[in-house]
Amino acid sequence: MQETLIVTGLFVLAMALRSASRVFLRKLGALTFLIATFWLGYFLSGSRLGGIIAVSCWFFLPWFELLTHIRCLRLPLNNRLHHRSVPNPAFFPNAPEAAAAMEEVGFEHVSDCGWKWAGMQQFFCFYWHPEERAVAAICLCEQSEVAFSFISVTSCDGHGRTWRTTNFPFSLTLQGSPQIRWNYVPCERNCFHHILRNHHDFLDRNKVSPDHLRMPDPDDIADALEREMRSQVESNLASGIIRLTGDGHFQYSKRGLIFLWGQFVKDMVRLC
């Protein structure tokens, strides 16, 4: 009975901490879940090894999704963006506020488009700013009953490098292109003014002068995103993360599934 009460108490404490508003307490709650799992495995097996195995099960949970769903995915080799109307703001978190903030600092609306990717629908609302020499985007991702949005600010320099600041909450599902430098900010930072300031700091840290940035072409923004995705696909084909299926699609290889598992584990640790 004492062992049962210890494990139950730890799990109750973990759930209480996970419901807290402060990030530190939520992370402490995740750690408490692991501690409770360790003691559950220890009490059931009578050994520390049993507790360690029980804790490791949390980190191998993604393999169920990897082997049952993602392994069977067939993704288009040439994905195209198509014009789409703006989704209902009720299903587009923070979009009206972000759009108003972009227009407030001088960004101009360019286009609205979207595509389907890996079982997910993505909608993009593009803006550009000639003085900033930057492109901003508000993106809505929908998969099943889950939806989330994020913001990105992108600049390109004269050497062909792309500098991007985003509050995208997850790790990339494909290896990033070496020509794209990412600057991730916390996903809860959804104020565009803060993200734009972070982007300026990102460029300053890397000694990228505004005078060395290329002027974006508003008529080429959607096509540039398609070319970027195709370049990323070709890079991942070369590295063996994905392989062609012979019908205009590709799928993850065994190496790709291991790569995805690593990305899932990083997200579990970072977002817990």
Q: Are residues 212 and 138 in the same domain?
A: yes
Q: Are residues 13 and 105 in the same domain?
A: no
Average pLDDT for residues 76-89, to the nearest whole number? 83
- % residues pLDDT > 90 (the chain): 57
pLDDT single digits (tens) 125-177: 999 999 999 999 999 988 777 778 899 999 999 888 999 999 998 889 999 88
Q: Are residues 162 and 218 in the same domain?
A: yes
Q: Are residues 106 and 132 in the same domain?
A: yes
Q: Are residues 117 and 219 in the same domain?
A: yes
Q: Do the domain assignments include residue 155? A: yes
Look at the chain and report how many structural domains it folds into.
Answer: 2
Q: Do the domain assignments include residue 268? A: no
Structural domain including 160 reads 77-254
Q: Do the domain assignments include residue 134? A: yes
Q: Are residues 194 and 248 in the same domain?
A: yes
Q: Do the domain assignments include residue 165? A: yes
Q: Do the domain assignments include residue 8? A: yes
pLDDT single digits (tens) 180-215: 999 999 877 778 999 999 999 999 999 999 999 999
Strands 180-184 and 162-166 turn out to be parallel
Q: Are residues 103 and 215 in the same domain?
A: yes
Q: Do the domain assignments include residue 176? A: yes
Q: Are residues 129 and 10 in the same domain?
A: no
Q: Are residues 56 and 175 in the same domain?
A: no
Q: Are residues 188 and 235 in the same domain?
A: yes
pLDDT single digits (tens) 215-233: 999 999 999 999 999 999 9
Q: Are residues 159 and 203 in the same domain?
A: yes
